Structure 1
Amino acid sequence: MRVDFTKMHGLGNDFVVLDARVHPVPAIDTALARALADRRTGIGCDQLILLEPSDAADFRMRIFNHDGGEVEACGNASRAAALLHGSAASVETSGGTIHVEPTNGGASVDMGKPRFDWEAIPLAYGMDTAVMPVGWEGLDRPGAVNVGNPHVVFFVENTDAVPLDVIGPQIETDPLFPQRINVNVATIENRRHIRLRVWERGAGLTRACGTGACATAVHAMRRGLVEREVTVTLPGGDLIIGWDDSERIRMTGPASESYRGSFEWDDFA
């Protein structure tokens, strides 16, 4: 069976998108997702994205990380899906229903409301998620936010100086986080600008993480460190994150189609 795909990216965070809304594909398991994502023997991507019909929204989006694990949300992939769909739409995800709208060169996404209670992150035991009394090798007193998927956020003097490739996987798999965690290290440049690097759960270091930008911005707003709309600069570029009076998060930024192709399903199944 030959299957079409679209290769896309948001600020360098790249995806293989399978559109099964008209032509269904066989079931995707961890091994197949990992094989397609492999940059040496597969197509290569940070995440595999599957678009499917939905009874609850205009379509459903499923997200598989580079390690083959399925996750709840991906902000950059949401913008890519909006670009591919071509018009405003509601999108069902495992993390909740979001709303997307293409813009010139990208998309704007209503990511919904953040959750701060420790059970929603989730944490292994209860604590204040605004200033958590924990630390790892010089990174301490983080905040935790669930924006469809779970994030822990550290504010540091220089995000580039943190060995995130070393400490990221340690924090991701700490027993405090029973479903693992995305790890964000951020520097507040001023009240309208944050610099950010992210260790993504199941994907590692990527050039951009949309949900990480949302979680970091909202946590900084919650702490009163920035205004209610900020620019978040990641290694791949900038996202605009706003948190309005209705408590909903809006993320705006670019997305691009790289190329299209096809593959034999049985070569990876």
Structure 2
Amino acid sequence: MLLNFYKYQGTGNDFVIIDNRNQVFPKDNNGLVSFLCDRKFGIGADGLILLEDDDVADFKMVYYNSDGNQSSMCGNGGRCIVAFAKHLGLVVSDASFEAVDGHHKARIEADVVSLQMQEVTDINEKSNSLFLNTGSPHHVQLVTDLKDFDVRKEGERLRYGVYGQEGSNINFVENIDENSFLVRTYERGVEDETLSCGTGVTAVALAMHHSGQANSNTIKITTPGGLLEVRFTKNKNKEGYNEIWLTGAAQLVFKGEIYVEA
């Protein structure tokens, strides 16, 4: 089968994106997904995204990790699929789509996409970390000397040792100044550090505000792949945050076609 694909990246978090409105992609073929994401034998990506028709929203997002399994929400993937939808002419400046965690809104101007994330009501404090779900589960932990920190080794240990087989994404954070942080993330499903993680950056911003490490409702996060911004509103009458927006660049890298065995 000849597959047409597009490669997008959002602050270094890269994705193979396929227009699947005609339902030709074999969605239960996990081996095919992992092959396409393989950086040696396939196209190479942190994940694969299918764009499909939706009865209510502009489109539907189906997301797979690079291990071939469908997964929870991907924030940078959500921003990239909005850019792809604009490329296809499905949206102009505003978009809405359905994902595994529900309905999302987005805005796009040039190559900058702002994605509205789901409301977060529960932030669990641990002895030296916080845990919250921003569409995907995230462990958030402050460290020193993040540049030289062994993210893969310690991330893998926490991902399995603390959170079991289902696991969690693991974010290591270092403060830059009052409302600005460095973040490196170990992603489950990729089983390695990625250059950026949208739901992880969102989790870090909320966790830092919740714990008093930040005092603004606009947080700047620097990842190895670039700069992202998270804006939010703290709930007045209950715990948590709403009106959460993740903003950053999302760009087409290249497009092509590949022969695969379906």
Same fold, TM-score > 0.5, yes or no = yes
What is the match of residue 72 of structure 1?
A: 72
Find the residue that maps to 2:114 and give its secondary structure.
strand
TM alignment of 1:52-67, pairs within 5 A? 52-67=52-67
Decide which of 195, 198, 223 is 1:210's aligned counterpart: 198
2: distance between equivalents of 1:26 and 1:69? 13
Decide which of 85, 90, 98 is 1:92's aligned counterpart: 98
Decide which of 99, 103, 109 is 1:103's aligned counterpart: 109
Find the residue that maps to 2:83 and give its secondary structure.
helix
C-alpha deviation, 1:15, in angstroms: 0.6
Find the residue that maps to 1:244 and give its secondary structure.
strand
Find the residue that maps to 1:26 and give its secondary structure.
coil
What is the match of residue 255 of structure 2?
A: 260
Cα shift readout 1:202-254 (whole Å, capped 9, x = no counterpart):
11111111111000000001112112111100001100111124622101100
Identity of counterpart residues, as a percentage? 30
Does the C-alpha gap of structure 1 residues 57 and 232 become closer, same or farther in structure 2, counting only changes over 3 Å? same
Equivalent pair of 1:7/1:259 in contact (CA under 8 Å): yes
What is the match of residue 156 of structure 2?
A: 169
What is the match of residue 149 of structure 1?
A: 136
1: distance between equivalents of 2:194 and 2:48? 14
What is the match of residue 239 of structure 2?
A: none
1: distance between equivalents of 2:227 and 2:234? 23
Find the residue that maps to 2:161 and give its secondary structure.
coil
TM-score under structure 2 length normalisation:
0.89
Cα shift readout 1:101-142 (whole Å, capped 9, x = no counterpart):
21222200001212426xxxxxxxxxxx12x13xxxxxxx11
Equivalent pair of 1:60/1:91 in contact (CA under 8 Å): yes
C-alpha deviation, 1:22, in angstroms: 4.3
Find the residue that maps to 1:221 and give its secondary structure.
helix
Q: Which runs of 5+ in 1 are unaligned?
A: 118-128, 134-140
2: distance between equivalents of 1:220 and 1:47? 27
2: distance between equivalents of 1:236 and 1:79? 15
1: distance between equivalents of 2:152 and 2:163? 19
C-alpha deviation, 1:263, in angstroms: 1.6
2: distance between equivalents of 1:97 and 1:104? 23
What is the match of residue 3 of structure 1?
A: 3
2: distance between equivalents of 1:70 and 1:23? 16
Decide which of 171, 175, 196 is 1:184's aligned counterpart: 171
C-alpha deviation, 1:150, in angstroms: 0.3
Pairing 1:200–2:187 present? yes
Q: Which amino acid aligns with 2:133?
A: N
Find the residue that maps to 1:215 and give its secondary structure.
helix
> What root-mean-square deviation, in Å, do the aligned CA atoms of Structure 1 and Structure 2 show?
1.6
Find the residue that maps to 1:71 and give its secondary structure.
coil
1: distance between equivalents of 2:69 and 2:161? 18
C-alpha deviation, 1:176, in angstroms: 3.4
